[in-house]
Amino acid sequence: MTTWKIAAVQMDSRLGDVAGNRETMRRKLAEAAGNGAKLVVFPECAVTGYGHTSRAEVTKVAEPLPGPTCEVIAADCARLGVWCVFGLFESAGDKLYNSCALIGPSGFVASFRKIHLPCVGADRFTDPGDQPFAVHDLGGLKVGIQICFDASFPESARIQTLLGADLILLPTNWADQAMKMATWVPRVRALENHVYFCAVNRVGTEAGHHYIGYSSICNAVGDTLAAADHDGETILYADVDPAAARAKRVIHCAGEYEIDRVNWRRPDVYGPLLSGPVFDGHKQT
């Protein structure tokens, strides 16, 4: 089974500067492809910036999927022979979504709309994603896409694992308060699902928030294959082996110490995941 070289582009984005951000992405896409990457991933809202303060502001920079940015990136992907995932705001009728687009050498493939919305940034003014989690086969590599806060819920990665993901992509905008997410969650999600996990964060300061970087790519046993610094633009590279992600049973000592965190689940006792109580502070509701 073919190994895929992937690239995670840790970059700054300028708030509302769609044309400028798009050109920066095109340069970095070409650089990553020139270094052998077959799949290039950009941060959440890379095209639009994130720190918008009203729905009207989000509306001004949003575009349909597929749309103008998809057309430009699709032409580059066709010329370079690569796949690309990037974040932006999507307009769909009267709805606004924090979305990612998946583009391949043959054009637009799919979108993902952020499902879990925190009370921060432009997510205060967008609509919750209305599409189920999905996995896309790029031709030997099966990828799932989440966005930022989605990774706070282990169910997100588990669903995509059960759908056959080899690699989970997480474009994100983690600021200073999200240090634990950046440093802990990618490795944990990779380990507990035995999948590769690629978290792609931004850097820079926008609307009073400092974005921390710390992008990373982890393998299917939770080892960090590549990691970025706290600040500064960079491109991370790592090789992803789909066969390694699909071999769910980890054998430390045959017949004595074996672990399978996916196939040895007990769904029959997981009922409260769907019907359990909700806690608001100290009050159960």
Catalytic residue numbers? 44, 114, 148
Q: Do 40 and 169 meet the contact criterion of CB atoms below 8 Å apart?
A: no
Tokens, residue 16: 């509302």
Tokens, residue 48: 């639009």
Instruction: State the Cα–Cα distance between residues 63 and 89, nearest whole angstrom.
Output: 7
- Give CB contacts under 8 A, 24+ apart, made by 149-153: 149/114, 149/116, 149/117, 149/118, 149/123, 150/114, 150/115, 150/116, 151/181, 151/185, 151/186, 151/189, 151/199, 152/116, 152/181, 152/185, 153/116
E-strand stretches of 42-106: 83-92, 95-104
Instruction: State the Cα–Cα distance between residues 174 and 121, nearest whole angstrom.
Output: 11
Which of 173, 163, 171, 172 minimizes the C-alpha distance to 195?
A: 163
**C-alpha R_g of the chain:** 19
